[in-house]
Homo-oligomer: A and B are copies of this chain.
Amino acid sequence: MANEAAQPPALNSLSIDEKTPESKAVGQIVTPFDVSGGVDESGKLLPVDYEKLTREFGATPINAALLERFEKVTGHRPHRFMRRSIVFSHRDLSKILDKHEKGEPFFLYTGRGPSSDSMHVGHTVPFEFTKWLQDVFDVPLVIMMTDDEKFMHSQKIEIEDAKRYTKANAKDIIAVGFDMKKTFIFSDFQFIGGAFYENMCRMAKRITINQVKGTFGFNDSNNIGEFHFCATQSAAAFSTSFPHIFGTETKKVASIPCLIPCAIDQDPYFRQCREHAEKMKFKKPSLIHSIFLPALQGPGSKMSASIDSSAIFMSDTPNKIKNKINKHAFSGGQDTAELQRELGGNTKNDIPFQYLTFFLEDDEELERIRADYEGGKMMTGEIKQKCIAELQTYVQGFQERRAQVTDEIMAEYMRPRPLEWKGNPNPVVVEKAKK
């Protein structure tokens, strides 16, 4: 296992024993539309096997050598998500590090399918990480709000709903702390057209119905919008889709690649995009994948924005967070204090511990908690308290920033405009816009 060396002890809780026999019940499925680790013979939900997924997708695990190079090239210690294999695999991350080393430009691209009025903590994971990458690399970032996709995939969501969700979610995203000067957030319904639409068509021309079926598991009963969206999501990986950021000297602009931080379920889009990019005279996007924050009910599924009790929402009050963790968070602890002291808790499926691996910055403290909990020194109630405190702090900080995000600020992030960053190869675009 190539990335084992890079994993601090806490990480083992997320790794899956390769010798576990394949489930005879329902196998693992991970697509942008379906995320499940499968079901065992007894009907128990299984956690997603990320190593298996990495192999199947043909991605590369992030190993110690890559983390070391990352630190050397950027001068920053890898983010806790990287240290703990929450950000666990990649495609061509080295190429982006090469670019950064040479002082050559690249950009970040991530996105969100707006399907509810408030995001939950699971949604913020890729954004937290993306913000950190933006700070570390000092590069422009585009964030796509796929309101068109959400509309076309759901019988319940009308265009007006999707647009409302976009606005609410854009404010949530802004509250993560992105630098306005370097960040362009766009709604597909608002932004699609022009150079972006041309790249959608360039990509659509290369993707057959067959390929989409193979990649996403769609069939002839899916609608043409669902199929076509594959081209839409790919188009944002090309710098020429954003002339207001990169200018219009197509050849020069086309040489600017992007790095896509995303949850692993989005990889199929970009695998397809990478397959065709060079034939289109564009750069293949690089990717860096994160795992999912498990639902409160335990490992085995993704949180759902439409099930309140499955997740801590970014709009939850401190009291609600406390109650949700106490009431719904699946515990890996023993049934009684005596048994807990004797046998210790199981951190691998203990949701409070899992959440701490996502949100507690201090590696040593996390390792101490792990040892105490597994060793029976720490009770279920105690680890829940630690988790609650950590999440309350996290959510409160978010809510304070969120309260500052006015409609005007949101509109400015979403206005097609030049961005400003140190390595901007087209400062003239910025200068022009200032006049």
Q: B189 near A205 (CB under 8 angstroms)? A: no
**Total copies of the chain:** 2
Q: A201 near B220 (CB under 8 angstroms)? A: no
Contacts of A190 in B (CB 8 A): 194
Q: B193 near A197 (CB under 8 angstroms)? A: yes
Contacts of A192 in B (CB 8 A): 192-193, 197
A180-200 interface code vs B (CB 8 A; 1 in, 0 out): 000000000111111001100
A193-237 interface code vs B (CB 8 A; 1 in, 0 out): 110011001101111111011000011111111011011000000
In angstroms, Cα B204 to Cα A230, docked, is 14
In angstroms, Cα B203 to Cα A148, docked, is 12
A194 closest partner in B (C-beta): B193
Contacts of A201 in B (CB 8 A): 148, 151-152, 159, 189, 225
Q: B159 near A198 (CB under 8 angstroms)? A: yes
A202 closest partner in B (C-beta): B159
Q: B213 near A228 (CB under 8 angstroms)? A: no
Most B C-beta atoms less than 10 A away, residue of A189, A201, A228: A201
Q: B197 near A222 (CB under 8 angstroms)? A: no
The prevalent SS among residues of A at the interface is helix
Q: A224 near B197 (CB under 8 angstroms)? A: no
Contacts of A204 in B (CB 8 A): 152, 223-225, 228
A120-137 interface code vs B (CB 8 A; 1 in, 0 out): 000000000000000000
How close is A142's CB to chain B, nearest CB, in angstroms? 17
Number of interface residues of A (CB under 8 A): 35
Among B151, B159, B222, B227, contact of A228 (Cβ-Cβ < 8 Å): B227
Q: B224 near A220 (CB under 8 angstroms)? A: no
Q: A223 near B198 (CB under 8 angstroms)? A: no
How close is A218's CB to chain B, nearest CB, in angstroms? 8
In angstroms, Cα B210 to Cα A222, docked, is 8
A231 closest partner in B (C-beta): B224
A204 closest partner in B (C-beta): B225
Given A192-B192, A197-B192, check contact A225 B231 (CB 8 Å).
yes
In angstroms, Cα B225 to Cα A364, docked, is 53
How close is A291's CB to chain B, nearest CB, in angstroms? 29
Most B C-beta atoms less than 10 A away, residue of A191, A192, A210, A213: A192
In angstroms, Cα B220 to Cα A192, docked, is 26
Q: A209 near B227 (CB under 8 angstroms)? A: yes
Among B191, B198, B227, contact of A224 (Cβ-Cβ < 8 Å): B227
Please name 6 pairs of A and B residues whose Cβ atoms are closer than 8 Å in the assembled complex, sorted by A: A148-B197, A152-B201, A159-B201, A204-B225, A209-B209, A224-B230
- Closest 10 pairs (CB-CB, A-B): A193-B193, A204-B225, A228-B228, A210-B220, A209-B220, A224-B227, A152-B205, A224-B228, A204-B224, A207-B224
Question: Which of A's residues lie within 8 Å of B, judged by CB?
Answer: 148, 151-152, 159, 189-194, 197-198, 201-202, 204-210, 212-213, 218-225, 227-228, 230-231
In addition to A148-B197, A191-B193, A224-B231, 8 A-B residue pairs with Cβ atoms within 8 Å of each other are A152-B205, A159-B202, A189-B198, A204-B223, A209-B220, A209-B224, A225-B231, A227-B228
